[in-house]
Amino acid sequence: MQALVVNPTTGYQESNSDSEYAFNSHRKQEFLRIAKEIIDHHEYPNVGDICRVIGITVRTFQNHVAQDEKFAEDWRELELHGEATCLSDMYALRKKNPMYMFGWLRARLPEKYDTTRQSQSIPDVSWIKKLGDAINSVNNATVIATEAVITSTQTQIDKPSDLK
How confident is the model over 17-37, as a mean pLDDT?
87
* β-pair type (13-15, 4-6): antiparallel
The reported pLDDT for the residue numbered 130 is: 78
- Taking a C-beta distance cutoff of 8 angstroms, is the pair 79, 85 a contact? no
What confidence tier does 147 reach under pLDDT thresholds 50, 70, 90?
low
State the DSSP string of 80-143. Answer: HHHHHHHHHHHHHGGGT-HHHHHHHHHHH-HHHH-TTTS--PPP--HHHHHHHHHHHHHHHHHH
How confident is the model over 124-140, as a mean pLDDT?
73
Q: Helix or strand or coil: residue 52?
A: helix
- Is the model's pTM score more than 0.75? no
The pLDDT tens digits of the residues spanning 107-124 come to 778 887 777 765 556 667
DSSP 55: T
For residue 5, list its beta bridge partners.
14
- Per-chain mean pLDDT for the chain: 79
